[in-house]
Amino acid sequence: MAVSLPRSSGVQLHPTSLPGGRLGPEAYAFVDWLAEAGQSWWQMLPLGPPDRHGSPYKSLSAFAAWPGLLAEPDAPVSAQEEDSFRRRQAFWIGDWEEMAGRGAVADQVRFEREWGALRGYAAERGVRLIGDVPIYVAPQSADHRAHPQLFQDGAVAGTPPDAFTDEGQLWGNPLYDWPAVRRRRYRWWVERLRRTFELFDLVRIDHFRGFTAYWAVPATASDARGGKWQRGPGRAPFDAARRELAMDLPVIAEDLGVITPAVVRLREALGFPGMAVLQFGLGSTERANPHRFVNHTEDKIIYTGTHDNDTLRGWYEELPGKQREAVDAELDQAGVGEDDAWWRIVELAHASPGRVAMVQLQDVLGLGSEARMNVPGQARGSWKWRLEEGQLTTEPARKLRAITEKAGRVA
């Protein structure tokens, strides 16, 4: 049911972190840099209109792209192009137009134009695109307003206490009324996945464990500790999408957090690769920790860190002495030969048996905590990091390519 992935590697960078923050010349230059570095994938965050803090995980639409990414926001759009787009995207474009107002359809036509050109340019250079699908929609988003019957009242989304926060994470997103979604044959989810697969070659489903069970928090709660687990829909939305779209689903399951045997069984039954994050495994004394290098398996995408983690340099330099010694010892035992700790961790990720190794661009550049993309639960100050002009040079591309070739990950 899932696609087969070659042994390969890639780099995470959201388009807003490009020097211009748009799909202009800097995006094409980054594709060239990825090809020079021997990379097969460019992974990014959701493309929808972000919230007022810049978070793409609370977008005003699960379908529409953010016009703020356009390199040419004033490019002409014909009535014929708008009509064609309306026909092809009839399921959602009217809902988005009602919220976004005049010019909303033209903006989506412009995005389709620019995105298609960039994706084609990347494909010609052996670079494919990985997208990100948040499991939930934002409160009062176009989707929430247009389909209120699909969502619960009285409870909102979150996660229990975890490695990031003692109080859990109170996301506040509306929760699906899964029986109501089922009665409609999962049509909303099918159309959401259809739209996503039109834009990307591979897609990470954020908070995949929510399809087994999700953390429901009373809507009046001040933090997420008072939530409780509720049963999710299981594989049914994915089976519906596979039948309707008549395709193997190119999905990565973001299986981080409180992962039970039931979550593992669901992921394996669907054939989706999961995730392992080296920052969660290095120096760990927990033998069963799936993020430890010795526990990596082929059906995993190996990340040095995600957008929610500190940069490798920032993380390493803040480690307490004994933990840093444990990390150094583990890297020595693995035989990775780079000098800087962050480069050694990048090399370790590439040496993993996991099918795809993924690194943050900040880690390839050796940047500290000032370049961190997001601190979970902290709205202000996140999502702001941006590359400076001239910061992306040939030297790190050369170094990354050498590591990638050594690991047998260059296409």
Q: What's the token pair of residue 111?
A: 């995005």
C-beta separation of 49 from 60 below 8 A: yes
Rounded Cα distance between 98 and 324, Å, is 53
Among residues 95, 97, 191, 206, which one is catalytic?
206
**Distance from C-alpha of 165 to C-alpha of 161, rounded to nearest angstrom:** 6
Strand residues in 113-211 grouped as ranges (E): 128-133, 151-159, 169-176, 202-205
**Are 242 and 186 a contacting pair, CB within 8 Å?**
no
- 81 tagged catalytic: no
Candidates 308, 310, 330, 363; catalytic one: 308
CA–CA dist 6, 138 (Å, integer): 34
Distance, in Å, from the CA atom of 140 to the CA atom of 313, rounded to the nearest integer, reads 38
Q: By the 8 A CB rule, do 407 and 351 touch?
A: yes
Query: Helix, strand or coil for residue 42?
Result: strand
Nearest one of 334, 301, 269, 338 to 2, comparing CA atoms: 269
Vertex 164, ends 350 and 267: CA angle to 5°?
55
Is 254 considered catalytic here?
Answer: yes
Separation in Å, CA 342 to CA 48, 127, 376: 31, 24, 22
Active-site option among 95, 97, 114, 254: 254
Quickly count: other Cβ atoms within 10 Å of residue 4's Cβ.
8
The encoded tokens of residue 242 equal 């596979």
Whether 317 is catalytic is no
Helix (H, G, I), strand (E, B) or coil at 300: strand
Which residues are identified as catalytic?
Answer: 206, 254, 308
